[in-house]
Structure 1
Amino acid sequence: MCKTPVIAIVDDDRSIREALDDLILSCGYKSRLFTSAEEYLAAQDRAAIDCMLVDVKMPGLTGLELQAVLNEQNTLKPPMIFMTSYSDSKTKAAAMSGGAFAFLGKPVNFSQLVQCLEQALKR
């Protein structure tokens, strides 16, 4: 039996977390919701995460800072798909050079996000 992919949603905006959660569930995946990068880092079962949807700008650690921490930990890191309202080229370049799978602007185009998720999960 195949394992159902688990998608981490790391975003400080509750309405965005809930909308993404609904989308993830409608695709047949499981989701884990995190209100901050710090909450994600504190999770004990991060190894079960198959892909991450991460907001760039959050209180506390930003999405880019979360990416840097995960890169420093040198552990298995799931593909990261960044989502942001601040889609300037410098931020996108930083995310992609840090190993991001994709960088999407908000509001997120759901069909584009689903396609991106499917590609990331094939890695």
Structure 2
Amino acid sequence: MDDLVKSCGYECRLFASAEEFLAFEPRSAIDCMLVDVKMPGLSGIELQAELNKRSDRPPMIFVTSYRDDRTRNNAMNGGALAFLGKPVDIEKLIGCLESALDR
């Protein structure tokens, strides 16, 4: 997925876990996040909740195989910009990235 983001002309930084992201400084350098629900350590939903507590959250786009309504509602109610299923629709993802980065 990072190759796709780069091919659209955006810089991309990968993190192995939510905890690695939370330790990264300066987080203000992050303009948008592509997040999975299932990750090592904290889940994407838990990461979102932690960032919401800190009022330190760039737009989040969830890209996941876990597409049940409860998970989707949790992500969207937590402020996610989008909740996309895998395999991801490339055009939808690009549209979401453009929307997030034009804010």
The TM-score range, normalised by the shorter chain, is over 0.9
CA RMSD of superposed structures (Å): 0.8
Gaps of 5+ in 2: none
Cα deviation 1:26-85 (Å, max 9, x = unaligned): 11110010111011001012111110000111121000000000001123x210000110
Q: TM-score, normalised by structure 1?
A: 0.81
Counterpart for residue 72 of structure 1: 53
Give every structure 1 segment of 4 or more consecutive aligned residues whose post-TM-superposition deviation is greater than 6 Å: none
Identical residues among aligned pairs (%): 65
Per residue, is there more strand in 1 or in 2? Answer: 1
Counterpart for residue 60 of structure 1: 41
- Residues of 1 paired with 2:22 and 2:92: CA distance? 27
For the pair 1:97 / 2:77, whether they are aligned, the reply is: yes
Give SS of 1:81's match.
strand
- Residues of 2 paired with 1:98 and 1:57: CA distance? 16
Give SS of 1:103's match.
strand
- Residues of 1 paired with 2:64 and 2:26: CA distance? 26
For the pair 1:21 / 2:14, whether they are aligned, the reply is: no
Amino acid at match of 2:76: M
Aligned length: 103
Aligned equivalent of 2:62, options 58, 70, 82: 82
